[in-house]
Amino acid sequence: MQKSKAKPDRKTWPAKGRVTVKDIAKALDVSVATVSRALSNDPTIADKTRERVLKKADEMGYSPNLFARGLITQRSRIAALFVSNITNPFYPEVVVKLTRRLQALGLHTMLFTSDGTSGVDEALPLLTQYNPDIAIVLAATMSSETVKKCVEGRTPVILFNRYVSGANVSAVCCDNYSGGRLVAETLAGAGHKAPAYISGLDDASTNVDRLRGFRDGCAAVGLPEPAVISGRDFTYEAGYIGMKELFAGKSKPDAVFCGNDIIAIGAMDAARRELGLSIPDDVSVIGFDDIAMASWPSHELTTVRQPMNAMIDEVIIEINRLLSQEDSQPQQRFLPGRLMVRTSMRLKEDDAR
């Protein structure tokens, strides 16, 4: 004879739906206030009572309702992350590492993505419904008006590797301007004479600063004004097409600095497959970011490494400062990059053609 399965005690926990504090209180025959204080580690609750409540909560499969708790504490414990350029391998790595650090702070990550055309502005109505404790913007556009709305809604904003000129918002960035100058100085020291630049998004602060630093660096070391291919995105296709356009003209560059590593990899592939060029004998190629693919034997890309871990550290410091201090003023931090020299760039002046 087949034994019947034990049925749950309907007097102990609910047949359907989420286990609540009331359910635990009913099962233990104690007040809701006692259970709430035990679950929140209130020091006024006796250790034995706390242990009893926690054990029963575990048995019943209880998990806290963060939204309900947020109504009481006025803290949602949500960190909103905005990413538009998710196809760039640099940013998924940032998201993974940053999410782990946010979880260690007790913050729950809510990820928003966009196609890059409207960015945070389009997602703002949805953002306000969740009332996040902090909003972190990675590789997404954000207008001054959106910054203003976030500030008025008392949601602190941190821009990661972006900044909005004149906006009252925190930012943690690589020093893209200095990185551009460093590339120009290194190229001049290696004997290059004809620099060029393949741009990412023209109005992105990263692109603006890298190009401005490169131009200023070329002028400072006596190199001519670099030829510029612009008006596209931070994509492989932009690099592939851009390299072909550079070599379609009468003046051929001997060094091409790219807005990021993905652009640089596209440029290298076009140089080899479409133009029959040797890298670095015919042309040097330099990127920016130092994604994992940059060091692959197929590319060995010379690039400016962004100090990702140090930048994430600064974001965590800024989050703690903004959430623990009332009326904290936003701060901007710029960290230096490091040139990672590999075989995509000709290094010695006596190797010049």
Percent of the chain with pLDDT over 90: 46
Type of residue found at 86: I
Q: Provide the strand spans (E) within 145-226.
A: 157-160, 170-174, 195-198
pLDDT in tens, 168-182: 788 999 999 999 999
Q: Name 124's Cβ contacts closer than 8 Å, sequence gap at least 6.
A: 146, 149, 150
Q: Name 293's Cβ contacts closer than 8 Å, sequence gap at least 6.
A: 89, 261, 265, 299, 301
- Give the distance from CA 320 to its chain's centroid: 18
CA dist., res. 337 & res. 67, Å (int)? 40
Whether pLDDT at 74 is above 60: no
Name the pairing type of β-strands 108-113 and 78-83.
parallel
- Give the distance from CA 47 to its chain's centroid: 43
pLDDT in tens, 182-201: 999 999 999 999 999 999 98
pLDDT in tens, 296-310: 999 999 999 999 999
pLDDT at residue 118, rounded to an integer: 57
Name the pairing type of β-strands 255-258 and 332-335.
unpaired
DSSP 200: S
Q: Which domains does the chain have, with CATH numbers?
A: 21-64 (1.10.260.40), 76-174+308-336 (3.40.50.2300), 176-306+339-351 (3.40.50.2300)
Structure tokens belonging to residue 89: 């391998």
pLDDT in tens, 265-293: 999 999 999 999 999 999 999 999 999 99
- Yes or no: say if 291 and 261 are a contact pair by the CB < 8 Å rule: yes
Q: Cβ-count burial of 122 within 10 angstroms (0-12 exposed, 13-18 middle, 19+ buried)?
A: middle
pTM of the model: 0.76
Closest CA to 259 of 314, 292, 306: 306
Mean pLDDT for the stretch of residues 101-117: 81
pLDDT at residue 126, rounded to an integer: 67
pLDDT in tens, 2-53: 444 444 444 445 545 567 888 888 889 999 888 888 877 778 888 899 889 8
pLDDT at residue 196, rounded to an integer: 97
pLDDT in tens, 213-233: 999 999 999 999 999 998 678
Identify the band that residue 127 occupies on the pLDDT scale cut at 50, 70 and 90. Answer: low
Mean pLDDT for the stretch of residues 106-132: 71
CA dist., res. 342 & res. 29, Å (int)? 70
- Yes or no: say if 197 and 214 are a contact pair by the CB < 8 Å rule: yes
Q: Name 37's Cβ contacts closer than 8 Å, sequence gap at least 6.
A: 44, 45
- H or E, element range at 11: none
**Listed range (147-151, 312-316, 317-321) with the worst mean pLDDT:** 147-151
Mean pLDDT for the stretch of residues 313-329: 84
Kindly report the average pLDDT of the chain as a whole number: 84
10 Å Cβ neighbour count for 131? 17
Largest distance between two CA atoms of the chain: 95
Whether pLDDT at 151 is above 70: no
**Listed range (1-15, 135-149, 236-250) with the worst mean pLDDT:** 1-15
**Listed range (72-81, 98-107, 273-282) with the worst mean pLDDT:** 72-81
The DSSP result for 225-269, as a single string, is PPEEE-SS-SSHHHHHHHHHHHHHSSSPPSEEEESSHHHHHHHHH
